[in-house]
Structure 1
Amino acid sequence: MTSSPSSPTMIGRDTDLAWLSDLLLGVRAGTPATAIIGGEAGIGKSRLVREFTAGLGPDVRLILGQCVDLGEVAAPYAPIKGALRALVAQVGADRVLEAVGPGRAALIALLPELATSGGATAGEIVITPGGAGSGQLHEAVAVLLETLSRDEPIVLVIEDLHWVDAATLGLLRFLLRSLGSSRVLLLLTYRSDDVTRGHPLRGFLTEVERDRWVERRELGRLSHDEVRDLVRTLLADDALSEQALDTVFARSDGVPFFVEELVGIDGCRDEGFVPDTLRDLLLARYERLPDAAQAFLRLLSTGGVRVPHALLAAVDGGDEGALDAAARESVRYGVIEIDGDDYAFRHALVREAILADLLPGERARFHARYAEAYEAQAAAGGRRLAAEISYHWLGAHDPVRAFPATIQAMREARAAVAYASAAQLGERALELWQSVPDPEQVSGMGKLELMGRTASYLRHAGEGERSLAMVKAALAECPPDDEQYPRLLRDKALYLAGVGRPGSIAILEEALAALPADDSDDLRATILTALAGRLMIEARIDDAVRVAGEAFELAERIDFPRYASVAMNIAAVSRAARGEVDRALVDIERARELAKGEGSALLRYWVNASDLRNLVGDYHEAVRLAEEGLDRARRQGVERSSGVILASNAVDPLFALGEWDRADALIERGLALDPPAPFRVYLQRAKLWALVWRGDAERAAELLRSSRATMTPIMAVEMQTRLGVQRVAVEIGLAVGDVSQAWRDGRGVLHEAQLPLAGYAEPLMWALARVIAAVRADPMRVSEAEAAEILDAEPALRELVDRLAFWPTHAMWAAFVDAELQPTEAAWRAAADAARAETAPGFLLPYAELRLGEALLADGDRVGAREALQAAFDSAVAGGVTAVQTRAARVAMQAAIGLDGATSGDVSRGSAGVAGADDAADAVAELTARERQVLDLIAEGLSNRQIGERLYISGKTASVHVSAILRKLGASSRTEAVFLARVAR
């Protein structure tokens, strides 16, 4: 039996090592990267990592984290804590706290030992209420790594992700998307054969493969020649015969660890003893050890892959000399290694094989001894160990002692803002509830409260449906007269809204009715405020003003400033929605004063104040407020939630100001944070709209198709989201020539049960007016029945526009609606004049000038048309409105009008992604003979019905041919199709 079974030389991984080295070169240059290495057990993942990290230069900082096998519920952030503690040891606590900046409170919540370092105190550990803590911690770790990587590149290794805890997985997901300006290489490994169906890592791996900074590799088995090379490095005398080598290859299947184990067995040299099974192979070294060493290894295997000497000595409780002797024998036989102060199995497979060999009674006794040793460490003021204690008492089949440890572990996970782990531990505690005498006394809470807390943790962990299921289960067990009942109803309403499902308002009203008359003012204030917010979101404006007023009066009376601020905020926004804009602007500033610096209330102020300013056309102030709030959100560590809303609120006024690049940067940053679905929808809507007006409607249509499933539930319960997405969808349909889809996407606003929110509805009215105009110009673009429906909707559209006349920007939008429905020169001049107002978004003026030019061309005024088209082209170029720039250039070229500054690139660029003349020629060549006939008749200006009559086919068949022509040519309109055909010829 060889005492050092590992090969001194790594075989068969040169390409993989070069890949990691290349990634590190990019990181040194400022491009972050993530390498994910998978493979079956024993394939050499850890060996590859060791070889790579051993070659790092002194200018690279290496920090290591190891996932721990604690069953289904691992200790939260275990590998992250290990890595960060190593980082603290390297650079010092003062430097870490300085680097993390405003995130120090969140970092101290994770590593409490930092509370006495660098001037930090326990009193600074303040996590923003409302469940934002995990976001704060994620942001803090990202800031820490990004800041320190400016000094030197960082390689962060996390091994054995198949044992990863839910909290660590969430943090890694965040880091992958947020370290865009860092010099960090994340190196992650996992055992692929352990990632079975349903394993949380499967979804993570699928997600991250789409990230541009992530590369993933599966290590393959060694070839026959590579096994020969590996054997030669293990046997210096090259004594293994070819037959024995063939046996080693066949039995190992080219897995390096198995090759090393087989070669390490003396019998392989003379083909005497070769284990028949994998278990025999893994236990071969163990079974040749003396009984004392085997007993040592059985005890060690119960503790994990690696166990500190001090812990093992406490668990063993016997003679330390005997323990040292057993450990020495185990090292000599190559079963374990010494790593610092730890005993570590040479491979996890060996530990698992030994663990499986334990007798049931032996296993339970060992788990109990570990649990007692961990309890002693925790009592002595050590680190948080409740998760480990819970795990081992469960392994000892002692639920009575496991239950309090599980409750404590849940609290520790919450303190470390590890909501996913806290939720798992809460569910474990609920499973143990019936097995414990007097669980309420032990846990310090009733079962309903535990269910409510667990549901809250699930919600904050992003498990919306599971949180809803948990609170429903709690309500099913809760008598209506129980004090928990209204609180659970409130939570159910909030969780329903969180997953985009209706019904919150009725449940909140039920919660109010269930409140006792006394001693419930605080809870009543929270329910009233939540109800007012839902009424506002669903556009029940008068009810929202009334309920928000009740909430404000109560919050003021009981000195509850946070809720007084939020209630005043909701009342202000609701008043604005019914036309009381001046009062709303005053009241919303009062909401800021009432917040008295309280973080969550201030964030609500910035969200609604910036949105209101944008809707009334005060774009500069809207951007200022949104960016001010976004800065606060980042400092509080809630960029992924409130920060995403504020980013989207900055995006729209930036579009209006023509600052497309700044807006794009905010969108991409926000989406990279992987925000919850409702917040993600806001950014997706903005991105789609920008793509349309910057000339990439086809891509916008593709993204809309892929995003509809996410958007639809949110649209069902939020009118502002519904109106905003409908507007974008209509504009996309118009831009790609699908008028029928455009109408179906937008017509719902004409049938809303409540008066639509004016600031969101009027731009949608304009888009629908464009649909009506398109059908009036060419009724054959849709079915006969749909054409009738669309044209008959004009009076309803105009009536709704008139009902929204109270809104400050109404005159501008009304002018555009009138011009679309009656496209005369005078109407478009009036629209252009309206678009010159300070409250008009910048893209409207070039559009109005373009349409004015088209109207003048229709009247035969070529001089006036050139002037208008030139103005449209120039203002579109200046404002970055690519779609209008392209269309103006095309209209001018089709009319043989020259525009200063226009190039062939302007003409060939288009919303449908049209390229140059060569591409157009190729597309025309694909047209059938019948399609070419139809194209010639389109050029004559014939409608679909007239084309059908000329060719003796139905109008519907002609419409099908027209659609095929537009698709093949990549044209967004009939006029563009004719133009492209002329270019091709």
Structure 2
Amino acid sequence: MIGRDADLAWLNQRLDEVRAGAPFTVIVGGEAGIGKTRLIREFQAGLPDDVRLLAGQCVDLGSVAAPYAPVKTAVRTLISEEGAERVLEAVGPGRVALVALLPELAASDPVTALSATPPVGPQSSSGVATGQLHEAIAVLLETFSRARPIVFVIEDLHWVDAATLALLRFLTRALGSSRVLTVLTYRTEDVTRGHPVRDFLSEAERDRWVERRELGRLTKAQVRKLAKSLIVDEAPSNSALETVFRRSDGVPFFVEELVGIDGCRDEGFVPDTLRELLLARYERLPEPAQELLRLISTGGVRVSHALLSEVYTGAADELDAAARQCVLYGVLTIEGDDYAFRHALVREAVLSDLLPGERARFHARYAAAYEQAAAAGTRRLAAEISYHWLGAHDAARAFPATMQAMREARAAAAYATAAQLGERALSLWDVVPDPVSAAGMGKLELMGRTASHLRNAGEGERSLALVKAALAECPRDDPQYPRLLRDKGLYLANVGKPGSVEVLEQALAALDARGDDGPSELRATTLTALAGRLMIDGRLDDAIEYADRALEVAEAIKSARYSSIATNIAGISRADRGDVEGGLAMLERARGLADGDGAALLRYWVNASDQLYLIGRYPEAVALAEEGLAAARAQGVERSSGVILASNAVDPLFALGEWERAEKLIERALALDPTAPFAVYMQRARIWGMLWRGDTERANELYRSVRPTIAAIMEVEMQTRLGAGRVATELALANDDLPGAWREARGIFHDKQRPLAGYALPYLWAAARVVAAVRARRGSVTESDAAEIDEAVPRFRSLLEQLAYWPTHAVWAPLFEAELAAAVEGAGAGVPGTDIAAWRSAVEAVAAPAAPGFLAPYALLRQGEAELAAADRAAARTSLQAALELAETGGVTAVHDRVARLASTAGIALDGVGGGAGLAVAAGGIAGSVASDADVLAAAELTARERQVLELLAEGLSNRQIGERLFISAKTASVHVSAILRKLGAATRTEAAYRAGALR
């Protein structure tokens, strides 16, 4: 452990933090031989007795490793310590997933293993879902870490399988309430560009609970110290030590190998190449021992004695003798019942020394041994069998093993691995005799299943590409053709690409063309998928038609799932078309029809919670969304359906003023790294929340980063077009970008059909704010835009009237009118938003339970502004005080700051807000500029009114506009501007505006 004291102390420090209750992940990287394993072994050896160690090592099986191999090892350790029954009890609802991962647990829980209803959802069509297994492992670690802190070690991440990597990605974010220290190691030179671990490392580094460290080479002094520590009989010469340092380059393993050759006694015997160095000990062994090493190297870095006995052709005593020599010469180590190479580099060097025929024979022996073990036990070994038969160049035997490995990976929810194995099987298809019999299916079906595995693994684009390739090979009269078309339509929707509706219509036409017009599950799924896409696109009449047809088929085939989903879609569509109560009744009928089916119930929770939010029943919407979210977690689809349900809870929580609770849901959902179509809902909500909480800068940054993704989803979803369009409009208004705000506001006219009322009404309010702002500042947009805005107002009003059937129309319509209504006399005459009576009507409207909470302080603020314009300062103070208090209690920071700023500008004293200086404080929380000492001193010479004028001057306002804002004449404003220029020593208004940074 020379030169690694700081690294060891770092690990122990992280362990102390974990023991105190803060989960952490450390990632140790470094080149081969640098001492990663040695460091981890030393750390493990020093673990206190109250810390539990669960460790696993990734296995080198080429490009497609056995799924979850290191995780299985770690979990089996836990089972051996606690017992199968205790582990199954601890994992709770995830016991089905754990049994799927470790089939040997079925003996301890046969009822669960045989009777469990497979969860279904967007990630899974049948069987255990990936998310369910991930959640089960997380629950297992969290549960047992409460009693004893856990060190969870996964070594050699450069060989990790896709399923384990996805699990680790989940665990680094999901173990929030545990005492688990996750320790990962990887070889840096093997994680090249394009390696999946490279992306994982990049993502992990952005997590504050993850820390990565690469071990460096030893210095010359450290190499000398290490070399001397390895030689006990006599001290090496300085020249020998210099040679060791030069040839080892400071890599500890190479130092050990150089010293181990002959104890540095013969300075002339130093291998010329790295390969010679790695094989130096190997080549000193007799031939039987060398042959054994070559055999073991074919099996991996470590091989159990039982397996080695099966593949070794000599007698047992010959095996023992050869193995003993390998251990004595320091090439092999004994770890429990396994033989392991002292270092993976030695194994790789020995493996490269094999002759081609020898390599193939050894692989064949391992394949046969694994087949025998698989037939005799419950462990899944098909991935190993496939790998070794491929190594033996026996495609005919590798192919069925690959198919079986794909099925096993699918059963364990290792979809990424299942997809890789499916692609391997497809690559062997043309070189295998009678592949249809060996696979149990045709090539097109295999392509379809592999595409499904890719989709479930989150590889949406690749799944779409594969199903397109299958369609290109599929004759129109093939039974697979309609199914592949249906899948293509679903996959297009999954990745947020247009064309889904047209492809699903083609699938129905293909079913009809082949004379298959009777009820079937394929027809039911195609009809429900088409109805759902039409509903999302706002084509409600068509959606109802296809949903009704889907219900007829579902009832004919006695499918509770599709009967529920079809009724659900029809109910939502009828409600959005105008029959709100009838639609809600159909939704409840859909829940009853689901009859406990997980997929159907998730669809119910998603649509019903959203509908309740849109009609203003916020507490019910939150309760229903959280009920569905709990079910999504239990079913293992939190990353897909769960994210949608979380967003359905966030919006009504915002409406109720529960910002922190909503933010926790957002953090949790985005930590799951959902795919783009699901993440869009959360990002849109987060941007809106930042905006109304007064963090416009962060809202801008986030919107810029996700705008391309949102734009893509807007192309295929009306609800996203409306919801995201409204947020973009409000964001542009907050930035005082009126041309940009108008570009976003007119997006409400994107669709030819009537927009969805629940989303369109608040969008219309945002559009009215744009119209009012432009009319108040006529020169802020081009003449053509101004004319277009004037022409659009009647269209806005017409659309508002068309949506009068919606329950929240009574909330949004008065707001719309108040934004545009102008006072007929006084300072606000002709200026939109200055009609006091209109704002009083709006204030009354937003007091209703169906109104989102942020609207009450906003409407009171706007009423106070109108009262100030009418010179009714007493009434304005009352309105602004009420607005301030509601904004503070409701957490509406943006409104609170605007009220404080307005009161300070107008010289109105509010409880909790000061006078002139209060403006600087309130504005400082938003603008955040930094001023020099000189600027501050100069600003201190200004009067309170001059400070107010300077602040408005910095916004680019003219003297007339400053006068309107401060309720003074333009001439008086001009006098103040002249005084400001003189006191600040500024030659121009621009220079004075620059100095206004002192007030921000």
Q: Do they superpose with TM above 0.5?
A: yes
Cα distance, 1:633 vs structure 2: 1.4
Hey, what does 2:364 align to over in structure 1?
368
Which residue identity is paired with 1:708?
Answer: R
Which residue identity is paired with 2:899?
Answer: A
Q: CA separation of 1:937/1:305 partners in 2, compared to 1, >3 Å: closer, same or farther?
A: closer
Q: Distance in 2 between matches of 1:575 and 1:311?
A: 65
1:206 aligns with 2:202: yes
Q: Distance in 2 between matches of 1:436 and 1:90?
A: 45
Q: CA separation of 1:674/1:936 partners in 2, compared to 1, >3 Å: closer, same or farther?
A: closer
Q: CA separation of 1:803/1:206 partners in 2, compared to 1, >3 Å: closer, same or farther?
A: same
Q: Deviations over 1:43-68 (max 9, x none)?
A: 01101101111111011010001000
Q: CA separation of 1:274/1:559 partners in 2, compared to 1, >3 Å: closer, same or farther?
A: same
Report 1:501-900 matches (<5 A).
501-515=497-511, 516-518=514-516, 521-822=520-821, 823=833, 824-900=835-911
Cα distance, 1:906 vs structure 2: 8.4
Contact 2:745–2:770 under 8 Å retained in 1 = no
Q: Distance in 2 between matches of 1:88 and 1:677?
A: 37
Cα distance, 1:426 vs structure 2: 0.2
Hey, what does 1:984 align to over in structure 2?
999
Q: Distance in 1 between matches of 2:571 and 2:963?
A: 52
Cα distance, 1:871 vs structure 2: 0.8
Q: CA separation of 1:121/1:863 partners in 2, compared to 1, >3 Å: closer, same or farther?
A: closer
Contact 1:67–1:79 under 8 Å retained in 2 = yes
Q: Distance in 2 between matches of 1:570 and 1:720?
A: 15
Cα distance, 1:848 vs structure 2: 0.3
Q: Which of 455, 474, 477 is the aligned partner of 1:478?
A: 474
Hey, what does 2:29 align to over in structure 1?
38
Hey, what does 2:389 align to over in structure 1?
393
Q: CA separation of 1:356/1:273 partners in 2, compared to 1, >3 Å: closer, same or farther?
A: same
Q: CA separation of 1:578/1:113 partners in 2, compared to 1, >3 Å: closer, same or farther?
A: same
Moved more, 810-819 or 535-544: 810-819
Q: CA separation of 1:579/1:921 partners in 2, compared to 1, >3 Å: closer, same or farther?
A: farther
Q: Distance in 1 between matches of 2:780 and 2:147?
A: 62
1:309 aligns with 2:305: yes
Q: Which of 61, 65, 68 is the aligned partner of 2:52?
A: 61
Cα distance, 1:676 vs structure 2: 1.7
Which residue identity is paired with 2:906?
Answer: A
Report 1:258-297 matches (<5 A).
258-266=254-262, 268-297=264-293
Q: CA separation of 1:909/1:113 partners in 2, compared to 1, >3 Å: closer, same or farther?
A: farther
Cα distance, 1:119 vs structure 2: 6.2
Moved more, 282-291 or 681-690: 681-690
**TM-score for the superposition, normalised by structure 1:** 0.93
Cα distance, 1:941 vs structure 2: 3.2
Q: CA separation of 1:939/1:195 partners in 2, compared to 1, >3 Å: closer, same or farther?
A: same
Q: Partner of 1:79: helix, strand, or coil?
A: helix
Hey, what does 2:426 align to over in structure 1?
430
Cα distance, 1:242 vs structure 2: 1.3
1:23 aligns with 2:14: yes
Q: Distance in 2 between matches of 1:384 and 1:911?
A: 63
Q: Distance in 1 between matches of 2:22 and 2:283?
A: 50
Contact 2:363–2:389 under 8 Å retained in 1 = yes
Q: State the identity as a percent.
A: 66
Contiguous gaps of at least 5 residues in structure 1:
1-9, 952-964, 966-973
Q: Which of 105, 111, 127 is the aligned partner of 1:114?
A: 105
Cα distance, 1:798 vs structure 2: 2.0
Cα distance, 1:487 vs structure 2: 0.4
Hey, what does 1:970 align to over in structure 2?
none
Q: Distance in 2 between matches of 1:216 and 1:241?
A: 38
Q: Distance in 1 between matches of 2:936 and 2:20?
A: 43
Q: CA separation of 1:694/1:932 partners in 2, compared to 1, >3 Å: closer, same or farther?
A: closer
Q: Distance in 1 between matches of 2:659 and 2:805?
A: 30
Q: Distance in 2 between matches of 1:766 and 1:349?
A: 67
Q: Which of 40, 43, 49 is the aligned partner of 1:52?
A: 43
Q: Which of 456, 459, 463 is the aligned partner of 2:459?
A: 463
Contact 1:128–1:636 under 8 Å retained in 2 = yes
Q: CA separation of 1:935/1:59 partners in 2, compared to 1, >3 Å: closer, same or farther?
A: closer
Contact 1:529–1:563 under 8 Å retained in 2 = yes
Q: Deviations over 1:804-826 (max 9, x none)?
A: 22211112211111111121111
Contact 1:735–1:911 under 8 Å retained in 2 = no
Report 1:243-262 matches (<5 A).
243-262=239-258
Hey, what does 1:336 align to over in structure 2?
332
Which residue identity is paired with 1:317?
Answer: T
Contact 1:695–1:910 under 8 Å retained in 2 = no
Contact 1:209–1:216 under 8 Å retained in 2 = yes
Cα distance, 1:727 vs structure 2: 1.1
Q: Distance in 2 between matches of 1:43 and 1:151?
A: 35
Cα distance, 1:750 vs structure 2: 1.8
Q: Which of 888, 910, 926 is the aligned partner of 1:913?
A: 926
Q: CA separation of 1:945/1:811 partners in 2, compared to 1, >3 Å: closer, same or farther?
A: closer
Contact 1:267–1:273 under 8 Å retained in 2 = no
Hey, what does 2:77 align to over in structure 1?
86
Q: Partner of 1:383: helix, strand, or coil?
A: coil
Contact 2:103–2:378 under 8 Å retained in 1 = no
Q: CA separation of 1:615/1:207 partners in 2, compared to 1, >3 Å: closer, same or farther?
A: same
Which residue identity is paired with 1:723?
Answer: L
Hey, what does 1:4 align to over in structure 2?
none
Q: Distance in 2 between matches of 1:403 and 1:446?
A: 14
Hey, what does 1:962 align to over in structure 2?
none
Contact 2:723–2:759 under 8 Å retained in 1 = yes
Q: Partner of 2:147: helix, strand, or coil?
A: coil
Query: What is the total number of aligned residue pairs between the two structures?
Result: 946
Q: Distance in 2 between matches of 1:165 and 1:871?
A: 60
RMSD: 2.5
Which residue identity is paired with 2:723?
Answer: G
1:217 aligns with 2:213: yes
Q: Deviations over 1:641-694 (max 9, x none)?
A: 111111111111111111111111111111111112111111111111111111
Q: CA separation of 1:805/1:121 partners in 2, compared to 1, >3 Å: closer, same or farther?
A: closer
Q: Distance in 2 between matches of 1:534 and 1:933?
A: 49
Contact 2:726–2:762 under 8 Å retained in 1 = yes
Q: Distance in 1 between matches of 2:594 and 2:786?
A: 53
Hey, what does 1:419 align to over in structure 2?
415
1:488 aligns with 2:484: yes
Q: Distance in 1 between matches of 2:15 and 2:44?
A: 11
Which residue identity is paired with 2:849?
Answer: E
Q: CA separation of 1:196/1:330 partners in 2, compared to 1, >3 Å: closer, same or farther?
A: same
Q: CA separation of 1:917/1:899 partners in 2, compared to 1, >3 Å: closer, same or farther?
A: farther
Contiguous gaps of at least 5 residues in structure 2:
822-832, 940-949, 971-980, 982-988
Q: Which of 220, 227, 235 is the aligned partner of 2:223?
A: 227
Contact 1:538–1:718 under 8 Å retained in 2 = yes
Cα distance, 1:782 vs structure 2: 3.2
Contact 2:953–2:993 under 8 Å retained in 1 = no
Q: Deviations over 1:96-126 (max 9, x none)?
A: 1111100100111001111121565421444
